[in-house]
Structure 1
Amino acid sequence: MARAIVHMDMDTFFVSCERLTNSSLNGIPLIIGGGDRGVVASCSYEARKFGVRSAMPIRMAMKLCPQAKIIRGDMDLYSKLSANVTQVIEEKAPIVEKASIDEHYLDITGMDKFYGCYKWTEELAQKVMKEVGLPISFALSVNKTVCKIATGEGKPRGNLEITENNVRSFLNPLSIQKIPMVGEVTFQLLTRIGIRNIQTLSEMPPEILQQMIGKNGVELWKKANGIDNNPVEPYKERKSLSTERTFIQDTIDIPVMKSILVGMVEKLAFQLRSEQWLTSTVVVKIKYANFDTQTRQVGVSYTSADHVLIKSVTELFDKLYDRRMRLRMIGISFKGLVRGTYQIDLFEDTVEMLSLYEALDKMKKRFGFDAVGRADTILKNNL
């Protein structure tokens, strides 16, 4: 029996959230982002007609569409509405995977025995729009790859069903860029040898693709042929990330302790970005030599940026460490996590800062976390 997998995607999610709370924004070119040197986090379809795209520098976006209205964005609002959407879907669907702040996969295999899969999904989408007030698109097919591509092709609000017999005819004429795992580097590599549409890619020997792009070559060939056996995996939201450091000898050396805290932040923030989390609460914990333990926390706008989190952690530490007594242990925690990417959080950061974090993360993933870091964290790590 063929699987029945659904991909549900909120249409221009940040824009739709803003319009839900302010109807005067309806129908106008709208950009969610921040700062004259910042980047576009999201934009309306009216702005896209002028060439505006996500991750584009704000300055460039305003040259393309000078009449656009810019809003910095409200991650608290977006997270709340995302949770509301998830709740509606989980009340109805048997298996749900929340893939990001605005995307869900559903496995409704076997539902055709009792109820038409497409009709059921359409009614669920209507329920989301009625109860939460946000537009949503969906696609129904035999696996996650095909239905995700189909959702993109059907937007906005053009819901598609791609049956097992029609998978190849649907995929073949599309650009290889439609495949989720094809980034800019892979796209340029393949187009240089004449591979531009999915059909041409599907006809390539998988061994050649593996030689060209490494271990992902076979996986890419499978996706081009509409093959994807990855299951829909429901998960429990991670509540926090934390780390602690117990010293071999109790210490009162504040510069060294701050250096260690900065290193902790770098490590946890890299994990946040790698796993696509954003944190809203920063906690610092200290344990004195007499085992007296104290903690302090502060709320922050959803972020996974080192420089934002380092500032919060060091300020908390300065307020918390108020005795001239040696410390036995220090630690930090990031709580109140939601799904999201670093780009989503860059409402106030610059294009240069975005590029810096992307470059640092690439180097850490390729050569290991310790391959690159701030100079002040290369201090005394053998206390």
Structure 2
Amino acid sequence: MSRAPRSAAARRSWGEDDTGCTILHVDMDAFFVSVEILDRPELRGLPVIVGGEHRGVVAAASYEARAFGVHSAMPASRAKVLCPQAVVLPGRHARYAEVSREVMSVLADVTPVMEQVSIDEAFLDVSGAVRRMGSPVEIARWIRAEVRRRSGVPASVGVASSKHVAKLASTHAKPDGLLLVPADATVPFLHSLPVGALWGVGEKTQQVLERHGIDTVAELAATPLTVLHRTLGVAAGQRLHELAWGVDARRVEPTRVEKSVGTETTFAEDIADRAQLERVLLRQSHECAARLRADGMVAWTVAIKVRHADFTTLTRSRTLAVPTDLAHDVHSAARDLLAGVEIPQAGIRLLGVRAERLTAAATTGVQSALDDDPQQARAERAMDGVRARFGSQILRPASLLGNNRHSAFKSGSGDLS
């Protein structure tokens, strides 16, 4: 079962002195579900699952669904067994990206020292905003209220003296809360947690630690470094020991470079028809290209991902002669890559497109591939303007109109990695 939401009193239980706590972690609560409820208020209070409506995985679950044990990355079949009454919705990444931009614009109004780490979370260093906006906690309160006002979705905020503790604090503040961990309460806060809460402790590492009798952060902190080095390796053991004692010197990095942007589709039924698969690639290419343009990036490489019915997965990639942010170029490369892949008679269950080796469009110093065809570039950028004004679903290529037979959850479309 998932952790029960903490009360507002519990969220404030670590103290009120925010001196030196200038790192904020802003995390949207069940973001995809929150956006769906924003657009469909009648879903509020119901168990809601985004993604996995066919054979994929759960992308997000409401707290009502989590109470039944449903969580993200869970196979759809398992989620339906645990919570058969859940409302299951397909993912709408374009809509989530719209709301994400609204949220990030709020954070950018606070400070330029912002590190967006995913579509629904970011770190801020507010040390330069204190004189203008008040204490870190006051800034956190303003952020939560302003995000709600501008975007309509809730945000939880953790305030601490380091990135690691700020992220943990925002997790404990959920849903829709704020938690400050004062600098002098950092170690007691950490030592109250299970070892799996530490950044970098995944399922396998947690199992290794538990086999050595280490179940809590406090127990890990008390373990001699020589034992941790022998158990986890020198680098991992050293890093986790430091985190257990609140040592985290990482700064908020506002110039994080995105390496790729992509989307993938798990089909309701396996598809063997190449024409249908090419239409899927076209839709995915438009999504990728629109996100590239929104982020001011161009891509040097296009890759595809193909998963067979037996879960055998392969990838193919091609480096372009010049970078692009146009769907025409992305789709052309992706279609050529797919042409070199043998499609089994039984069909494939997943297909994805990814634009890689991203570079800021303003600094490439080269023309995009279709600058010699300005009509194509103008058409795609005009589509961006129409969608921004009237919604992401208002406009699409003619070849995709009415082609919803194989609509499916885009399981990887939320990542900018």
**TM-score band, normalised by shorter chain:** 0.5 to 0.7
Q: Is 2:301–2:356's contact at 8 Å kept on the other side of the alignment?
A: no
CA RMSD of aligned residues (A): 3.5
Say whether 1:176 aligns with 2:238.
no
**Which residue is 1:38 aligned to?**
56
Structure 1: 5+ residue runs without aligned partners? Answer: 242-264, 271-281, 288-294, 301-308, 318-331, 338-345, 355-383
**Which residue is 2:43 aligned to?**
25
Q: Is 2:140–2:178's contact at 8 Å kept on the other side of the alignment?
A: no
Structure 1 position 112, deviation (Å): 4.9
Q: What are the within-5 Å matches in structure 2 for residues 263-302 of structure 1?
A: 297=328
**Which residue is 2:367 aligned to?**
none
Deviation readout 1:91-120 (Å, 9 max, x if unpaired): 222411101111110111265556221012
> Which letter does structure 2 place at the counterpart of 1:7?
H
Structure 1 position 143, deviation (Å): 0.1
**Which residue is 1:235 aligned to?**
255
Work out the CA distance in 2 between the residues paired with 1:239 and 1:110: 28
Q: Is 2:111–2:129's contact at 8 Å kept on the other side of the alignment?
A: no
Deviation readout 1:252-303 (Å, 9 max, x if unpaired): xxxxxxxxxxxxx999569xxxxxxxxxxx998579xxxxxxx972678xxx
Q: What are the within-5 Å matches in structure 2 for residues 1-383 of structure 1?
A: 2-109=20-127, 111-112=129-130, 115-214=134-233, 215-235=235-255, 238=258, 297=328, 312-314=335-337, 334=355, 347=409
Q: Is 2:51–2:60's contact at 8 Å kept on the other side of the alignment?
A: yes
Work out the CA distance in 1 between the residues paired with 2:220 and 2:197: 12
TM-score normalized by structure 1? 0.65
Work out the CA distance in 2 between the residues paired with 1:150 and 1:22: 30
Structure 1 position 336, deviation (Å): 11
Work out the CA distance in 2 between the residues paired with 1:18 and 1:11: 12
Structure 1 position 39, deviation (Å): 1.0
Q: Is 1:283–1:313's contact at 8 Å kept on the other side of the alignment?
A: no
Work out the CA distance in 2 between the residues paired with 1:46 and 1:336: 39
**Which residue is 2:279 aligned to?**
none
> Which letter does structure 2 place at the counterpart of 1:18?
E
SS at match of 1:334: strand
Work out the CA distance in 1 between the residues paired with 2:357 and 2:93: 12
Q: Is 1:7–1:105's contact at 8 Å kept on the other side of the alignment?
A: yes
Structure 1 position 313, deviation (Å): 4.1
Deviation readout 1:310-363 (Å, 9 max, x if unpaired): 85343699xxxxxxxxxxxxxx992798xxxxxxxx9267xxxx9xxxxxxxxx
> Which letter does structure 2 place at the counterpart of 1:151?
S
Work out the CA distance in 1 between the residues paired with 2:320 and 2:212: 55
Q: Is 1:297–1:316's contact at 8 Å kept on the other side of the alignment?
A: no
Aligned length: 281
Alignment identity in percent? 34
Work out the CA distance in 1 between the residues paired with 2:198 and 2:73: 19
Work out the CA distance in 2 between the residues paired with 1:286 and 1:177: 45
> Which letter does structure 2 place at the counterpart of 1:80?
E
Work out the CA distance in 2 between the residues paired with 1:31 and 1:296: 30
SS at match of 2:158: strand
Q: Is 2:20–2:183's contact at 8 Å kept on the other side of the alignment?
A: yes
Structure 1 position 169, deviation (Å): 1.4
SS at match of 1:40: coil
> Which letter does structure 1 place at the counterpart of 2:409?
F
Q: 1:71 to 1:222 in 2, by over 3 A?
A: same
Structure 1 position 196, deviation (Å): 0.7
